[in-house]
């Protein structure tokens, strides 16, 4: 699917805003890559990704596999399934001019001239068979610089079943407690993976550390935070991170635009206590957020927060699939639906209903429960509500510098915003967690808090004598 003009303009604007001043003088554009046949150009996320490096072996110029099953192989055979979107990146390893063509697929790379130069081509493996790839520079193929792409029948793959990308809401670091400011290091990795969206439905998620949301980061006000962001070597996209707790351009995004295999880091001081969202800020920003690249950082105040029995971490998100809600199989991202703000799915912690089956929240009757709630978005406000109880205390907007609220039924949380809610549930049972725009339950936005314990008929019970006369107080 081609990107609409409005989307392209938005991405260009975002890229401009994220460019550091030191990078304002851009390098001259590289020569245009020869166009591939429109019939063979791939639209979607590549799922058969290869990297080849040029080099010298036994006195001859060769292609050498880099990474994965072909690592170190000379003139490796590249294997893909019919229907795969194939991506081949060619890196110049020894300085001589080279390229790579797959004539049967009607694609040819840009020429790479000089050590480290690279070019990438992408195509759909439309037919079964063996197809040569080779260098078109005169004499190079004749000297042996060639091999094969083997396209085999499509078969079910383990990844197609979908791994769980859902972060357990109980996956929380311990409280920071009483201490002074210190330097804290966090290592995050951008990981692209096919995961389970719903029963028999998968999606190519983009994540921080393989789960949605990304890990909860927990620091103390005044801490210096050293954050390292790595982009996995098998990633297709560039990624970054913008933390709303950061006081600095782009929230860190201008310093962490990382390509596949790269790592960048920066240091910031946590100046304000509160619960803050972080997310990827690489254009198209809304696509990176929707695909799962969001999380939160808790900056504890001096003295910490009041202790509770249970802490949970929940975030709301939206997914814009090309096919309607309920379609099975691997789903693709739609570039049109985000522009119209038409999500097919609303999720808690990345998927449809995982907080009711895979990872429901658990507590005992009378426990003091705290939920750190945020909205990744990218677009929709949440009306966060737990059916059957009230919030004893709410830190609205994630602020720990403002007075808290008491006795709150529902709290509004905007995209990129958060709230901390404390509650005590004296009566055992199953309490449904929702956004109170309740039609979103039909699109996946539902969870459960399961409370064990002894019944409390003094608070809640069935009426065993509904016909009895009731004497109302005057």
What residue numbers does the annotated binding site cover? 239, 244, 279-280, 288, 293, 436
Token pair, residue 188, equals 């995050």
Cβ within 8 Å of residue 290, ≥6 positions away: 317, 318, 319, 320, 333, 338, 343, 377, 378
Residue 15 backbone dihedrals phi, psi, to 5 degrees: -65, -40
Largest CA distance in the chain: 104
SS3 category, 11: helix
Q: What's the angle, vertex CA 235, arms to CA 108 and CA 156, rounded to 5? A: 85
For residue 80, count other CB atoms closer than 10 A to its CB.
Answer: 21
| Rounded Cα gap, residues 24 and 20, in angstroms | 7
Tell me whether strands 129-134 and 146-152 are parallel, antiparallel or unpaired. Answer: antiparallel
Please give the Cα distance from 447 to 361 (Å, whole number): 8
* Rounded distance between C-alpha atoms, residue 157 and residue 335, angstroms: 27
Distance in angstroms (rounded) separating the CA atoms of residues 295 and 21: 28
Phi, psi of 14 (to 5 degrees): -65, -40
- Taking the C-alpha atoms of residue 342 and residue 356, their distance in angstroms, rounded to an integer, is 25
Cα–Cα distance list, 51 to 161, 185, 462 (Å) = 26, 32, 66
Please report the beta strands in 310-424, taking only residues with DSSP state E, as ranges in sequence order. 310-319, 329-331, 345-348, 361-364, 368-377, 382-386, 391-395, 405-408, 411-413, 418-424
Residues annotated in the binding site for Cu cation, as ranges? 239, 244, 279-280, 288, 293, 436
The values of phi and psi at residue 286, to 5°, are: -65, -30
The H or E element containing residue 54 is strand 48-57
Q: Give dist(CA 310, CA 367) in Å, integer.
A: 7
Cα–Cα distance measured from residue 191 to residue 159, given in angstroms and rounded to the nearest whole number: 14
Query: For the chain, what's the residue count?
Result: 474
What backbone torsions phi and psi does residue 146 show, to the nearest 5 degrees?
-160, 160
417 three-class SS: coil
Which residues are paired to 268 by β-bridges? Answer: 225
């Amino acid at each position: 699917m081609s990107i609409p003009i409005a989307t392209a303009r938005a991405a260009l604007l975002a890229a401009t805003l994220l460019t550091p001043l030191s990078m304002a003088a851009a390098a001259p554009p590289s020569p245009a890559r020869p166009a591939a046949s429109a019939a063979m150009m791939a639209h979607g996320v590549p799922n058969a990704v290869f990297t080849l490096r040029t080099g010298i072996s036994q006195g001859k110029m060769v292609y050498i596999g880099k990474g994965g099953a072909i690592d170190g192989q000379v003139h490796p055979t590249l294997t893909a399934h019919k229907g795969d979107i194939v991506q081949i990146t060619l890196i110049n390893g020894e300085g001589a001019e080279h390229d790579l063509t797959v004539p049967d697929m009607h694609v040819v790379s840009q020429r790479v001239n000089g050590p480290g130069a690279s070019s990438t081509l992408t195509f759909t493996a439309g037919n079964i068979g063996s197809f040569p790839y080779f260098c078109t520079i005169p004499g190079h193929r004749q000297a042996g610089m060639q091999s094969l792409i083997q396209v085999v029948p499509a078969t079910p793959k383990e990844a197609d079943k979908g791994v769980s990308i859902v972060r357990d809401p109980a996956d929380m670091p311990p409280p920071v407690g009483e201490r002074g400011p210190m330097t804290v290091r966090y290592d995050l990795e951008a990981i692209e993976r096919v995961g389970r969206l719903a029963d028999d439905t998968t999606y190519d998620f983009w994540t921080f550390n393989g789960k949605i949301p990304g890990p909860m980061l927990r620091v103390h006000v005044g801490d210096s935070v050293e954050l390292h962001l790595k982009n996995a070597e098998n990633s297709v996209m560039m990624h970054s991170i913008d933390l709303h707790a950061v006081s600095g351009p782009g929230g860190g995004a201008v310093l962490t635009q990382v390509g596949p295999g790269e790592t960048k880091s920066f240091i910031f001081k946590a100046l304000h206590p509160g619960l803050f969202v972080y997310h990827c800020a690489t254009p198209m920003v809304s696509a990176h957020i929707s695909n799962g690249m969001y999380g939160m950082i808790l900056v504890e105040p001096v003295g910490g927060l009041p202790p509770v029995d249970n802490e949970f971490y929940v975030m709301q998100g939206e997914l814009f699939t090309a096919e309607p809600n309920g379609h099975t199989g691997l789903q693709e991202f739609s570039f049109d639906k985000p522009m119209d703000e038409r999500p097919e799915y609303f999720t808690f912690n990345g998927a449809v209903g995982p907080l009711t089956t895979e990872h429901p929240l658990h507590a005992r009757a009378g426990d003091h429960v705290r939920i750190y709630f945020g909205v990744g978005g990218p677009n929709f406000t949440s009306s966060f509500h737990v059916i059957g109880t009230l919030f004893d205390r709410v830190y609205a907007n994630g602020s720990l510098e403002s007075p808290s609220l008491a006795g709150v039924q529902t709290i509004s949380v905007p995209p990129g915003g958060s709230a901390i809610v404390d509650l005590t549930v004296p009566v055992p049972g199953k309490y449904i967690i929702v956004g109170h725009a309740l039609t979103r339950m039909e699109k996946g936005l539902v969870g459960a808090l399961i409370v064990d314990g002894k019944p409390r008929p003094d608070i809640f019970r069935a009426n065993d004598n509904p016909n009895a006369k009731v004497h109302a107080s005057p």
